[in-house]
Amino acid sequence: METVFVLLIGGAAGVVTGLIGASGVMIVVPALVVLGYSVPDAIGASLFINTVAALIVAWTYYQNENLNFKQGIWIAAGTVVGAQVGSFIAPSVPDVGLSSAFSIFLFISAVTFWGRGIKTPKANKILAADDEDNATQLSLDEDNTTQPSLILRLLRSNIIISGLLLGFLVGILTGLIGAGGGVMILLILVFIMQYSMHEGIGTSTLIMAFSAASGTIGHALTSNLPLQAAIIGSVGTIIGGRLAARFANAINEKVLSMVVGGVFAVLGAVMLITTTS
């Protein structure tokens, strides 16, 4: 019975990763704790399952030409180092406070993506203009109405440095709570690097695979990786991740933004409930 439950847990985590490019830690960790696993072991298994899910989902997005290696690789490099740091300081960080703060962050992210989904039709109208030059001018005019801040311009102009720094910070979060940092990475790619939703999700899952794998190694070195649960969960996550990623690539930008916001809101609610109950 436990095997079936872990299989379903992995499948649900894969669906989350396939739809929004984020970790299913909010599902995997509480569920494994209910089954009797310690929190460190549950986090280790979550990272292992997350690594498999991210690789499967990233491959699916790559097949649909929605994955950017060039810019994402520097963030990935930063996450590998940061995840090791986070894994070793995780035992000294209180669980409830960190998890509650992250759940609130998910709610804020949900509202942000809903807003993006509502605004998407305007962008579509610009791209649908008959005259290509006019379309370009309209796009430039819209960009000029919202000039990025100096900090954002510096981040965008220094891809290597900003990628390593942002990746390092995301990696620390990965090691602390067992998430692959997909939420943070997606926000960085979409709102700072100006990726489309599809390309942002595809690229974030590839980056997340590196950070989650690094975190998995860290937990394995501290003997907090229950392999049986991790492998069984990975079987489910392959199926769930593949199906969800194919669905996400089949829908348009507006719908995907709304889906991402909706899933973030649900995950935030689940995480808040599980940490306060």
- Count how many domains the chain has: 1
In a domain, 55, yes or no: yes
- The interaxial angle of helices 69-89 and 159-177, nearest 10 deg, is 40
Q: Which residue would you say has higher pLDDT here, 273 or 206?
A: 206
Does a structural domain hold residue 136?
Answer: no
pLDDT above 90 covers a percentage of the chain that reads 23
Q: Decide if 207 is inside a domain.
A: yes
Which alpha helices (H) appear in the chain, and where do they start and end?
Answer: 2-20, 25-34, 39-63, 69-89, 95-127, 132-144, 150-157, 159-177, 182-187, 197-221, 227-250, 253-276
CA distances from 82 to 96, 165, 176, 191, 238 (A): 21, 9, 10, 22, 26
Considering the domain boundaries, does residue 244 fall inside one? yes
pLDDT, tens digit (0-9, with 9 covering 90-100), for 151-199: 666 666 777 887 888 888 877 876 776 555 677 788 778 877 778 889 9
Q: Evaluate if residue 101 carries a pLDDT over 80.
A: no
Give 194 or 105, the one with higher predicted confidence: 194
Q: What number is the average pLDDT over the span 136-143?
A: 45
pLDDT in tens, 51-96: 999 999 999 999 999 998 877 788 888 877 887 787 777 667 665 5
- The answer to whether the beta carbons of residues 175 and 83 sit under 8 Å apart is yes
Range of the domain at 200: 2-120+148-276
pLDDT for residue 224: 83
Length of the chain: 277
Identity at 238, one-letter amino acid code: I
**What pTM value is reported for the model?**
0.75
Rounded Cα–Cα distance for residues 268 and 277 (Å): 14
Tokens 């430039």 belong to which residue? 140
Q: Tell me whether residue 128 is in a domain.
A: no
Amino acid in position 230: A
Indicate whether 132 belongs to any domain.
no
Query: What is the arithmetic mean of pLDDT over 38-46?
Result: 88
Query: 216 lies in a domain?
Result: yes
Residue 124 pLDDT grade (very low, low, confident, very high; cuts 50, 70, 90):
very low
The answer to whether residue 256 is domain-embedded is yes
